[in-house]
Amino acid sequence: MYHYEHPRPAVTIDLAAFMLSAGELRVLLIRRDAEPFAGEWTLPGGFVHSEESLEAACGRVLSAKARLERVYLEQLYTFGAPGRDPRDRVISVAYYAILAADQRYSGPGQWHDAQALPKLGFDHAEILSTALTRLRAKLTYSDIGFEFLPEEFTLGEAQRAWETILGRPLDKRNFRKSLLEKGRVQATGKKSRGGAHPPAMIYKLGEDQAQLST
Amino acid sequence: MYHYEHPRPAVTIDLAAFMLSAGELRVLLIRRDAEPFAGEWTLPGGFVHSEESLEAACGRVLSAKARLERVYLEQLYTFGAPGRDPRDRVISVAYYAILAADQRYSGPGQWHDAQALPKLGFDHAEILSTALTRLRAKLTYSDIGFEFLPEEFTLGEAQRAWETILGRPLDKRNFRKSLLEKGRVQATGKKSRGGAHPPAMIYKLGEDQAQLST
DNA sequence: ACCTAGTAGTGTATATAATACACTTCTAAA
DNA sequence: TTTAGAAGTGTATTATATACACTACTAGGT
């Protein structure tokens, strides 16, 4: 197995980072300066360094210049087709990340509406499409949606988040029922202030669920 | 991004190949000769060559010396923790494979009962555990189970396959109902011969499902 | 003081899906 | 002829998912 060595492919991570902002599901994109795909948008990514884990590489790419606390990170798929980078054989382990709405991202790149994406370089449109499919699927059978919210939230905020991610309206009573049954969320006792409406109960993620987002 | 180059990790694939045999769910394992983990069992694997896809590398590892027709292959997860191979930084893209019961495998390695595994080298116990979890989950919401069966099968054979994979008995009428409704399987009109029981109708995978196993 | 806009909050009925459960029939082998 | 073993077949119950409409409260503007 180690008797002789083939040329090694490069290994990178690519990151589909999602965030809710201004009622849109947004994705972080980087504009490329150099060929190939100069002028097009790509997902942020980078080489995996010799002694860092794949997750550490994601963290480095995402928060080199940022100060991020709550970031959900999950491996998505590994893209390794020969020719996906025209320069060299590059195998990319794709991850997707979710930044909570109360985070401030100050690194490079721009946040784009996931519903209206520009043309993407490399195979990043495929990566992003895979990430969106996974994200929407997990929204219904896991607690991943809470990663988009601050630690405390009202049920109305949660419903607007879910609707933005799925891109379709949800029934209010059924949505509330699904969060309230089985202790997925628990009331904090506090009530929201402000807004042209009655104060809303503030909830947090249920204790049993807190570490089980996947 | 390409201004200077870090040392490149090696990229391998590791393969959890499953097959039903003698009423057991079996996994292909290779006994290691050399250190590290000499004498222990590992999943078959190998380096990804310069110009081959990840799937092609899996196919090469699995069928170098075998003559295999029906092999289901699906990417599982990428394991890249530093130190998972004590010799070198190795990033392994794990796949799992399913061989249909009527295939003959003649390559290296031994087929082991997945319920009674020996000690595995590297992090292969974790890979295999991930594969088993995924396999069992997909059995209930996809048509992946049919990959274990020959193209034509009776409902009894299918139920025994499902029960072997899940490791628990299933209700006969509910199982048959779930396969027959919505055209998941279609009757061929032929009947089985032999056995101390009435002839059974022979089915094949429904036409709509034939290419949708994932 | 009044009006308006906007969200909070609340139950029930229906449809669909999942589960539990037992007997008769047919064939091969002893 | 007997026995063992699988084939085949319905219904009742439970749980889950979906559809659907009104009142109450607050902020802000008139």
pLDDT digits (tens, 9 = 90+) for B30-49: 999 999 999 999 999 999 99
Q: Give the closest residue to A80 by CA, choosing from A50, A49, A123.
A: A123
- pLDDT one-digit tens code per residue, B155-173: 999 999 999 999 999 999 9
What digits encode the pLDDT tens for the residues B120-132? Answer: 999 999 999 999 9
pLDDT of residue A209: 66
- Spell out the SS3 assignment of chain B: CCCCCCCCCEEEEEEEEEEEECCEEEEEEEECCCCCCCCCEECCEEECCCCCCHHHHHHHHHHCCCCCCCEEEEEEEEECCCCCCCCCCEEEEEEEEEECCCCCCCCCCEEEECCCCCCECCCHHHHHHHHHHHHHHHHHHCCHHHHHCCCEEEHHHHHHHHHHHHCCCCCHHHHHHHHHHHHCEEEEEEECCCCCCCCCEEEEECCCCCCCCC
Nucleotides of C under 7 A from a protein CB: 4-12, 18-22, 25-29
How many residues are there in chain B?
Answer: 214
Classify residue A3 by burial, with Cβ atoms within 10 Å: 0-12, 13-18, 19+: exposed
Do A127 and A170 share a domain, yes or no? Answer: no
> What stretch of H or E contains A95?
strand A90-99
Rounded to an integer, what is the distance from CA A8 to the centroid of its chain?
30
Q: How confident is the model at residue B182 (pLDDT cuts 50, 70, 90)?
A: confident
The reply to whether B214 touches chain A by the CB within 8 Å rule is no
Instruction: Specify the pLDDT at position A47.
Output: 96
Would you say residue B3 lies in a domain? no
Asked whether residue B119 is assigned to any structural domain, the reply reads: yes
* Rounded mean pLDDT, A138-145: 96
Confirm if A54 and A93 have CB atoms less than 8 A apart. yes
Residue where a domain stops, chosen among A141, A160, A190 = A141
Q: Is the pLDDT of residue A67 over 70?
A: no
Distance from CA of B44 to the nearest CA of A (A): 11
Residue A106 lies in a domain: yes
Res B65 pLDDT > 60:
no
Alpha carbons A48 and B100: distance in angstroms, whole number: 37
Which is higher by pLDDT, A170 or B4? A170
Q: A68: pLDDT confidence band, cut at 50, 70 and 90? A: confident
**Which distant-in-sequence residues (6+ apart) come within 8 Å of B161 by Cβ?**
B20, B101, B145, B148, B149
Q: Do A75 and A149 fall into the same domain?
A: no
Please report the pLDDT score of residue A64 as a whole number: 64
Same domain, A52 and A115: yes
Distance CA B139, CA B129 (A): 15
Q: What is the mean pLDDT of residues A110-114?
A: 97
The rounded Cα A157 to chain-centroid distance in angstroms is 18
Residues B164 and B66 in one domain: no
User: Same structural domain for residues B36 and B119?
Assistant: yes
Is the residue at B103 inside a domain? yes
Q: What is the pLDDT of residue A4?
A: 64
Q: What average pLDDT does this structure show over A49-73?
A: 87
If asked whether residues A177 and A125 sit together in one domain, one would say no
- Is the residue at B2 inside a domain? no
Helices A155-166, A172-180: crossing angle, 10 deg rounding? 110
∠ CA B12-A41-A51, nearest 5°, is: 35
Contact B29, B42 (CB under 8 A): yes
Q: Per residue in B80-95, is it b (16+ CB within 10 Å) or e — as a string?
A: bbbebbeeebbbbbbb
Do residue A38 and residue A127 come from a single domain? yes
Q: Is residue B59 in some structural domain?
A: yes
Residues A158 and A117 in one domain: no
**Inter-chain residue contact A80 with B93, CB threshold 8 Å:** yes
Query: How many CA atoms lie within 13 Å of A97's alpha carbon, on the beta-carbon side?
Result: 29
CATH number of the domain where residue B65 is located: 3.90.79.10
Contact B213, B146 (CB under 8 A): yes
pLDDT tens across A126-141, in order? 999 999 999 999 999 9
Note whether residue B65 is domain-resident.
yes
Round to the nearest angstrom and report the end-to-end CA distance of chain B.
Answer: 36
Beta pairing, strands B90-99 & B10-21: parallel
**Mean pLDDT of all residues belonging to chain B:** 93
A78 with B10: Cβ contact below 8 A: no
Q: How many CB atoms lie within 10 A of CB B130?
A: 17
**The total number of structural domains that make up chain B:** 2
Partners of A53 on chain B (C-beta within 8 Å) are 80-82
pLDDT of residue B211: 56
| Of B140, B157, B174, the domain-final residue | B140
Asked whether residue A188 falls in the same domain as residue A94, the answer is no
* Structural domain harbouring B177: 144-205
Give the tens place of pLDDT for each residue, B10-31. Answer: 999 999 999 999 999 999 999 9
pLDDT at B103: 87
In DSSP terms, B172 is beta-bridged to: none
Q: What is the pLDDT of residues B74-106, one digit of tens each?
A: 999 999 999 999 999 999 999 999 999 988 898
Could you give the C-alpha distances from A172 to A154, A163, A195, A214, B197, in angstroms and in order? 13, 11, 19, 24, 55
The answer to whether residue A154 sits within a structural domain is: yes
Residues of B within 8 A of A54 (CB-CB) are: 78, 80-81, 91
Q: How confident is the model at residue A182 (pLDDT cuts 50, 70, 90)?
A: confident
Sheet holding B152-154, edge to edge: B152-154, B201-205, B185-191
Using alpha carbons, select from A158, A61, A11 the residue that is nearest to residue B5.
Answer: A11
Does position B111 have pLDDT exceeding 80, yes or no?
yes
DSSP letter at A119 equals -
CATH of residue A172's domain is: 1.10.10.10
* Cβ of residue B2 closer than 8 Å to a chain A Cβ: yes
C-alpha distances (whole Å) from A168 to each of A34, A117, A197, B32 are: 38, 18, 23, 54
Q: Beta carbon of B176 within 7 Å of strand D? A: yes
Contact partners, residue A70, CB within 8 Å, separation at least 6: A99, A100, A103, A147, A151
The answer to whether residues B164 and B62 belong to one domain is no
Residue at a domain's end among B114, B140, B166: B140
Q: Could you say which DSSP state residue A50 is in?
A: T
Are residues A80 and A134 located together in one domain of the fold? yes
Kindly state whether residues A160 and A121 are assigned to the same domain.
no
* pLDDT at A185 (0 to 100): 97
d(CA A159, CA A208): 21
Distant-in-sequence, close-in-space partners of B57: CB < 8 Å, separation ≥ 6: B13, B46, B47, B48, B49
The label of the residue with tokens 């996809």 reads B142
Q: Is the pLDDT confidence value at A20 over 90?
A: yes
Q: SS3 for A94?
A: strand
Whether CB of B201 is under 7 Å from strand D: the answer is yes
Cβ-Cβ pairs closer than 8 A, A with B, add up to 75
